[in-house]
Amino acid sequence: MAKWMICTLAALAFSSAAASAQDNRLTVGGYGEVAMTRNFYNDSPYIYAKPDNYRDAPGHGRFDIPHAVVYLGYDFGKGWTMQSEIEFEHTGTGAAIEREYEEAGEFEQEIEKGGEVELEQFWIQKSFFPQLNVRMGHIVVPVGGLNNAHEPLEFFTVYRPEGEYTILPSTWHDTGISIWGQAGAWRYEALMVAGLDAFMFNTDNFIKNGAGSPYEFKVANTYGFAGRIDNTSFRNLRLSLSGWYGNSMHNTYPNDLKGDGLKYDGSRGRVIIGAFDFAYTGKRLTIRGNADYATLGDAADISKAKAVRAANDSPYSKEPVGKAAYAVGMEAGFDILPWFKPKDKEQKLFVFGRAEAYNPYIPAAGQQSATYTEKIRIACGLNWRPLPQIAVKCEYSHRFLKSEYIDEPSISLGIAYMGFFSR
């Protein structure tokens, strides 16, 4: 019933907004993606445990709608504005069958908070002057290049850049307060939001799932602090630094470790992230890149506590989590259409390539190894932009693993839009 009401309200809000398009204080927009992929490798849960058994096994294909987002904003006047984003992921209704690879490939039904209809942003802002704006509500946490620019026309690949998408929450959004401003070529943002939950961390995705919540509320026994600085002093070039600091242990519900006399009482699970990203957008050449490194304190203690304290029917993961993770990537695209249609100023045809390396699991001393998590990925393909708001994407991707495992090649085709319907 709740999901039906969210969908109905979203549809009503959208139609009402469109009918009131003449009001220039109202902003209506959104973005969406459709993707089709053929993976030329097997999807068995044992492919990393027994790779030799699957070298000649058949691959698999999939169709998906990763994200469809409706954006509504309103300017109340006198510096007060509102913004909201309602996101529909994977055409789901909140219940899905997933394979739990850490549990011998068992099929389980997953019920997520808000289902796969999610309120990605909902905040109210007071702007005092360009150098000082205050937001309160549900806010995007702009740590890393992807969280800062996650719309589908802001990267060339069919799916979101894999390295950052693997190790960090994406799109990372949480409830709290943000202060931001811009002065000349400098922009800053500082945030305080709910902390991450160490019991949601795992081997394959590091802290990615730690920003979520399986409950009707977000647990906030601890808090996190994020910051970002952007500089555009150089023509067509943006340089950015961002980071995160906060404890993640004892951020469960109920607060089942703190003060119960266990040896993990003193563990903090401190998460520290440092990230650099840049974007160069020239007349025909576009280059983007990122470098992220994250550390987790008390990783061994967290892994032991999760294995012992996470009940079989709880929403928490029993998988171990490493002490660190990294993601480095770069992509470049060149518009070749002027070679064939020099008078066509609206369309673009980018030939692009992307390379990235990442590892979500660097174990602490005494932890088990998992060398399959260390991956290098290359992708190349085309992006056709028939209009500034639409992209048709095709790519070939190849994921390289350590020699004892099977490489993972694939081809993908996608179409995406991003734009405003009224403003």
- Give bridge partners of residue 329 from the DSSP assignment: 290, 356
| Domains of the chain and CATH, by start | 2-422 (2.40.160.10)
Does the structure show a pLDDT above 70 at 22? Answer: no
Residues in contact with 15: Cβ distance below 8 Å, sequence separation at least 6, in sequence order: none
Query: 417 φ, ψ to 5°?
Result: -135, 160
Q: Residue type for 181, please? A: G
The CA distance from 269 to 259, in Å, is 16
Contact 299, 364 (CB under 8 A): yes
Q: Residue type for 135, please? A: R
pLDDT in the model for residue 107: 45
pLDDT in the model for residue 100: 54
Average pLDDT rounded to a whole number, residues 19-42: 85
Q: Residue type for 353, please? A: G
Distance of alpha carbon 205 from the chain centroid: 11
Note the pLDDT tens digit of each residue in 362-377: 999 888 888 999 999 9
Contact 227, 193 (CB under 8 A): no
Of 113-117, 139-143, 218-222, where does the model show the most confidence? 139-143
Average pLDDT rounded to a whole number, residues 166-189: 96
pLDDT in the model for residue 79: 96
Place 20 in a pLDDT band, splitting at 50, 70 and 90.
Answer: very low
Q: Taking Cα atoms as reference points, which of 226, 359, 237, 227 lies closest to residue 292? A: 359
Does the structure show a pLDDT above 70 at 23? Answer: no
Note the pLDDT tens digit of each residue in 205-234: 999 999 988 778 888 999 999 999 999 999
The CA distance from 109 to 184, in Å, is 51
Average pLDDT rounded to a whole number, residues 4-17: 46
User: From the CA atom positions of the chain, what is the Rg in Å?
Assistant: 22
Burial 138-177 (b: 16+ CB within 10 A, else e): bbbbbbbbbbbbbbbbbbbbbbbbbbbbbbbbbbbbbbbe
Place 119 in a pLDDT band, splitting at 50, 70 and 90.
Answer: confident
Does the structure show a pLDDT above 50 at 25? Answer: yes
Place of tokens 């490939």: 105
Higher per-residue pLDDT: 199 or 113:
199
Contact 137, 175 (CB under 8 A): yes
pTM of the predicted model, to two decimals?
A: 0.88
Does the structure show a pLDDT above 70 at 10? Answer: no
- Angle at CA 326, nearest 5°, toward 324 and 331? 170
Average pLDDT rounded to a whole number, residues 284-305: 95
Does the structure show a pLDDT above 90 at 89? Answer: no
Looking at the chain, the whole-number percentage of residues with pLDDT higher than 90 is 69
The CA distance from 210 to 251, in Å, is 10
Segment holding 305, helix H or strand E: helix 299-309
Q: Taking Cα atoms as reference points, which of 143, 142, 145, 140 lies closest to residue 118? A: 140
Segment holding 343, helix H or strand E: none
pLDDT in the model for residue 267: 86
Burial 245-282 (b: 16+ CB within 10 A, else e): ebbbbbbbbeebbeeeeeebeebbbbbebbbbbbbbee
Average pLDDT rounded to a whole number, residues 302-310: 80
* Distance in angstroms between the alpha carbons of the first and the last residue of the chain: 32
Note the pLDDT tens digit of each residue in 61-86: 999 999 999 999 999 999 999 999 99
Looking at the chain, the whole-number percentage of residues with pLDDT higher than 70 is 85
Does the structure show a pLDDT above 90 at 324? Answer: yes
Average pLDDT rounded to a whole number, residues 302-319: 76
Average pLDDT rounded to a whole number, residues 77-102: 75
Does the structure show a pLDDT above 90 at 49? Answer: no
Average pLDDT rounded to a whole number, residues 283-305: 95
SS (H, E, C) 219-232: CCCCEEEEEEEEEC
Q: Taking Cα atoms as reference points, which of 255, 275, 240 lies closest to residue 358? A: 275
- Give bridge partners of residue 348 from the DSSP assignment: 385
